[in-house]
Structure 1
Amino acid sequence: MATSSSSNLSDMIRQSPPVDLSKPYEAAWVKGKTIVITGGASGFGAGFVRHWAKYRAAIIIGDVNVEKGGALALEVQKETGNQHVHFVHCDVTDWQSQVNFFKEAVKLSPHGGIDTVVANAGIAGDDPLQRPTGLNTAEPPKPDFKIMDVNCTGVMYTTHLALYWLFRNPGSTACSMDSHPLYTRDRHLLFLGSVASLGPIPVQPQYGAAKHAVLGLFRSLRATSHMQGVRVNLLCPYFIDTPIVTAAARVALAGGAMGKVEDVVDAATRFVADSRILGRALVIGPKVNVKQHEDGEWKLVTKDAPGSRQTAIWEAYADDWEEADAFCRNIIGVLNAVQAARGWIGWAVDVVKAVGYSVGLAR
C-alpha cells in the first residue's frame, strides 16, 4: 500500500514503536489492576497468576478444571497474602459459561471493572484432519473439532466479552502511547497466539488454523479497538515446556530446544504492566545467544562473542506484518542452529523425557 494514501490501513493502526527489550520495566505496575485469565489453571495461565498476584493484582481465573483452578487460587492466596485471587468455572466453548464468568469477575473486582483480559485458554492433541478416520466406511464420521472450538471460537467469545466489559471499566484510562505506565488502570486485551500463528506446523493443521485466526483477529482489532480505548497485544510462544506439548510432539522436537514458562510470563508482564505498548507482538522461544548481522539475520554464536546478546524473546518488528515471512525464516534458522549445536546427546535426552511424559513419570 502506498503510505501517502489517506485510506492506508497503517495510518489507522494504533501501533506503538517496536518494543525495546533492552529497557527494563516494572512488574509492580500491575498493582491495582483486575486481570481476567481464561485457561488460567495450568501452563502459562498458572504462571501469570502466580507472578502477577505477587505484585498485588486482582486476578480471576477461568478454567474447566475446577479442582486445579480452585487449588491454585487458594495456594496463591496463601503464598502471597493476596486475597483478590479467585477461581470461577469457565468453559470457553460455551457462550453462556463465558458470560457468567465475566459477570462474576466484575463482581469480584475490587473496583467493579476489568483492566486486562488474557485470552489464554488453548488445547492441542490428535487432529482428525491429520489422521482421518473411517476411510473405508460408507459415510465419513463427523470429525472432532474441539481444538478449533477452544482455540478459535472460544477466543472469539472471550474477545467479544472483553471489548464489552473493558469499555465499561470504571475509572480507567483509554489506551495511549503517551500514558504513564506507573499504576495505570487501562483497558487491555492480550491474545495468546503461537509460532503456529506465523508459520505452519504440518502435523497440527487444526491448531495452526486456529492460531492463524488469532493472528488475524489481533491484526484487525488493533485498527479499531482504540475507538473503545482498548489496546491489544499478542504473544507468539514457540514450543514451551508445559503439559500441552504431547509426548509425540516431544519426540518430534527431540534434539532441539523448548522455551520456558518464565520467559512467556516475562513477555506477558511487560505487555500488561506497560500501558504505552499498543498493537505489538512478541515471539518467545528457547534462550539463545545470538548476534544480528548487517543483513538483519540473526546468527547463533557463543556466549562471549562480541556484540552478542542472550534472549528468549523476540519482537516481531514488521509494521502490519509486511516482513512476516522474512521473520519466520530468520527465527527458524536460529532454532535449527540450536538443534545442530545440541547434537545427538540433546536428542537422546529429549526422547527419554518424552517417554517419561507418555507414561506419566514427568509433568
Structure 2
Amino acid sequence: MATPETPKVDLDHLKGKTILITGGASGFGAAFARKWASHGANIIIGDMSDAAGESLVAELRSSTGSQNHCYQHCDVTDWQSQVALFKLAVKQSPSGHIDAVVPNAGISGDTNSSPGNFEDPQGLDGDDPAPPRLKILDVNLTGVMYTVHLAMFWLAKNNTEKAQGKNENQPEGTRDRHILLIGSVASLTPLVGAAQYTASKHAVTGLFRSLRGTAFHRGIRINLLCPHFVKTGLLSDGVMLILAGGGLGEVSDVVEAGTQFMADKTAYGRSVVIGPKLKVEDGDDGEMRLVEIPSAEGEEGKGIWDCFAHDYQSTEAFFYRYTRLLIAFAKMRGWAGWAKDVFNVVFRRK
C-alpha cells in the first residue's frame, strides 16, 4: 500500500489536447472538463442531459475564450450515437484528431429486475417470466466497451503531428494518446447488495488489466481511477446512512488524480483509489497506522492511494489494510460523527 509523493506534472501538457468525455455534463466528468479546459484543453462532451451539457459548454467557452469546446447528445448504450460523438470530436478538434478519451458515463442505483432487485428475484415461476433489467450493465459495461473500442481506433489514427500538417519539425510518433478509465471501489472489492454495479465495475478493471498489456503497442496509455464513496449529489440517503460516522472522498482529489494521469506522459498502466483524507505513517511492524484525522478546516491528509496496479494479486491485501484505516477513521470520529451524519441525511437532505 504505497503513499508516494504526488509528482509535479507540467499541466501545460494539457494545452491543445482534444479530450472526449462521456457523461461529461455533471459529476466527475464536468469537474474534469472545467479543470482541463482551464489549462487549454479542448473538451468534447457527450451526455443525455442536454440542458446541463449545453450550459457547461457555454461556461467553458466563456471562461476560456475558446469556441472549441462542444456538447452533443449521446446515449452511450447506442453504438451509432457514440460513433457520431467521436466524428464530431474529430471535426471540432483544431488539429483534426483526438488526444484522450474518458469513458466516464455510468449509473448506479436500483435499476434491476422488478419486483425485487437482481439478488431478490420474484415472480419467475409464471408462464412467461420477464428477464431482469440490466441497465447498469448496459451503461457501465457495454457503453464503456463501445467508447474504448472507438477510442482505440481514433487515437491510433492520431499517430504523428506531421501527419496532420502540424509542427513539421517534430519527430514522428511523439503524440501523447490516453484512455482514462473510471472505475470504483467496487472495481476491486464487492459492494454487498449491489451485485450488478459491482459486476460492471469489476469488468472495467478486467478491461484495464487486459488493455494495459496491449495498448502500448499502439502508443496508447491506459490508466484507471477507483473512487471510494465521494461527496457528490449522486449518493443516496441509504448509502449516506450506511457510511454515517465514516468518511467520504473529495471530488477535488478525483480531479487531481485524473489530471495527473492526463498530463503525465509517463503514467501508464497505473490505478489509484481515491477516498477520505487520512494521515498515516509506517508502523514498526510494516503496517500503516492512523495517526491523525484531518478536520474540515483542511488539516494535512492524503486521499489518493496507489493500489499497485502492476500487481493485482496484492489487491485483497491492499483492501484489508485500507479498510482497517477506514474503520479507524470511523472509530476516531465516534458516536458524535455518526449522529452528525445521520442528522444531515434525515433533515438537511430533504
What is the TM-score normalised by the length of structure 1? 0.85
Whole-angstrom distance in 1 between the partners of 2:293 and 2:348: 31
Note if contact 2:269-2:310 (Cα within 8 Å) is conserved in structure 1: no
Higher deviation after alignment, 144-153 or 346-355: 346-355
Q: Is the 8 A contact 2:158 2:175 kept in 1?
A: no
Matches within 5 A, 1:106-125: 106-125=90-109
CA contact (8 A) 1:113 1:170 kept: no
Write out per-residue CA displacement over residues 164-214 of structure 1, whole angstroms, 9 at most, x where no aligned residue: 0000015359xxxxxxxxxx7411111001110110100111000000000
Which residue does 1:164 correspond to in 2? 153
Gaps of 5+ in 2: 163-173, 295-299
Q: 2:68 aligns with which of 81, 84, 95?
A: 84
Please tell me whether residue 251 in structure 1 is matched to residue 235 in structure 2: no
Show the counterpart of 1:59.
43
Identity of matched residues, %: 50
| Contact 1:290/1:301 (8 A) holds in 2 | yes
The Cα shift of 1:349 comes to 2.3
Match 2:141 to one of 149, 152, 162: 152
Show CA shifts across 1:149-169 (max 9, x none). 100111000110000000001
CA offset at residue 21 of structure 1? 3.2
Flag structure 1 segments of 5+ consecutive residues without an equivalent.
1-17, 174-183
Kindly indicate whether the alpha-carbon contact (under 8 Å) linking 2:16 and 2:40 is maintained by their aligned counterparts in 1. Answer: yes
| 1:215-267 Cα deviation digits (max 9, x unpaired) | 00000000011111111000000001112221211111111111110000000
Aligned partner of 2:322 among 324, 331, 340: 331
How many angstroms does 1:292 deviate by? Answer: 2.3
Separation of aligned partners in 2, 1:65 and 1:58: 20
Q: Tell me the amino acid that sits aligned with residue 24 of structure 2.
A: G
User: How far off is 1:356 after superposition?
Assistant: 5.4
Structure 1 residues 253, 86: closer, same or farther in 2, change over 3 A? Answer: same
Match among 304, 308, 319 for residue 313 of structure 1: 304
Note closer, same or farther for the CA distance 1:172–1:324 as it changes in structure 2 (3 Å cut): farther
Map 1:71-220 to 2 at 5 A: 71-126=55-110, 127=112, 128-134=117-123, 139-169=128-158, 171=160, 185-220=175-210
Tell whether 2:25 aligns with 1:38. no
Distance 2:17 2:32 in 1: 13
CA RMSD of aligned residues (A): 2.2
Any idea what the Cα deviations from partners look like across 1:246-295, whole Å, max 9, x if unmatched?
12111111111111100000000000000111101011001111112344
CA contact (8 A) 1:285 1:313 kept: yes
8 Å contact from structure 1 (residues 172, 186) kept in 2: no
> TM-score scaled by structure 2?
0.88
